[in-house]
Amino acid sequence: MSRFYLYNQTLPYDEDICHEFKGHRNIVLADVPPTCVKFGSRSPISKAINAFLNTGLGGVIYCGVTDDGVCKGLTFSPYQMDHMRVSIQDAMNNFQPSVPPHRWKLEFVPVVEENPSPQELKNLYLSSEKYAVSERQRSHVIGTYNYCWCDKDAVAAFNNGHIHGDYVAEIVVHPWESSNPLDSQMVGTKTKLHPIHECDDHKVYIRQNASVKCLTLQEVIELTKSQVKSYYARVMGQH
């Protein structure tokens, strides 16, 4: 059964070490409007992605959910969905080390007024297939707070009476699994500990409960030492 959210539904969990709520879809700092940067009222999503990666436990970022866990949704056209996916992949490529595609996924879950019928829900999920393949292969303008062509297209569609659906965009960062060959090949040490990624802003973040913390170089060193120590403590305990 395909999933959906209800408008003004309160999610059954709070922000914590594995859940983050966002009311916007600005992936990197360059996407954030200057006024929001000036007043510090909006944090780019890439920081939360980086923190989930560096904690190693994974997590989910819910774009379209308020800080207190109320589902409002964000309006997306299929082209804007493509834009968000490309923007996330570009941010992941700019992490150091870069993040391979198997470490994350993006899902768009419809937001509806009431419980939809199976056919209505199916139509919400299949609506993007009505759009031209040639347009969906068109390059997007990313890394800027200015409108991309897909945003202008969505505005034009709205002015012509076409209303696109609302969705919660779920960015899923998968937990690190050293037994997974795709994960283990990312590191060259015997410990197979998860790598520490530098964010696209050249800083390192980790998740602490419901917050994102920026680490100093010394804190990164101490974190790595602690992880190695814990690893060998487990190994010694098995013998």
- Say what the pLDDT of residue 131 is: 61
> Largest Cα–Cα distance of the chain, in whole Å?
70
CB 16 within 8 A of CB 210: yes
Region 84-91: mean pLDDT is 97
Q: State the Cα–Cα distance between residues 63 and 45, nearest whole angstrom.
A: 9
**Can you give the pTM of this predicted structure?**
0.90
The residues, any chain, with a CB within 8 Å of residue 60's CB and separated by 6 or more, are: 18, 19, 20, 170, 171, 172, 173
Q: State the Cα–Cα distance between residues 109 and 42, nearest whole angstrom.
A: 23
Q: What is the mean pLDDT of the chain?
A: 90
pLDDT digits (tens, 9 = 90+) for 190-200: 667 889 999 99
- Give the strand pairing for 104-112 and 166-173: antiparallel
Q: State the Cα–Cα distance between residues 140 and 120, nearest whole angstrom.
A: 30
Q: State the Cα–Cα distance between residues 71 and 236, nearest whole angstrom.
A: 47
- Say what the pLDDT of residue 116 is: 82
pLDDT digits (tens, 9 = 90+) for 25-73: 999 999 999 999 989 899 999 999 999 999 999 999 999 999 999 999 9
Amino acid at 157: A
| The two structure tokens encoding residue 28 | 């990197």
Q: Cβ-count burial of 209 within 10 angstroms (0-12 exposed, 13-18 middle, 19+ buried)?
A: exposed
Q: Which residues are 168's β-sheet partners?
A: 109
Region 140-168: mean pLDDT is 94
Q: State the Cα–Cα distance between residues 98 and 114, nearest whole angstrom.
A: 41
135 φ, ψ to 5°? -70, -35
- pLDDT above 70: percentage of residues in the chain: 92
- Say what the pLDDT of residue 139 is: 94
Using only C-alpha atoms, the chain has a radius of gyration, in whole angstroms, of 20
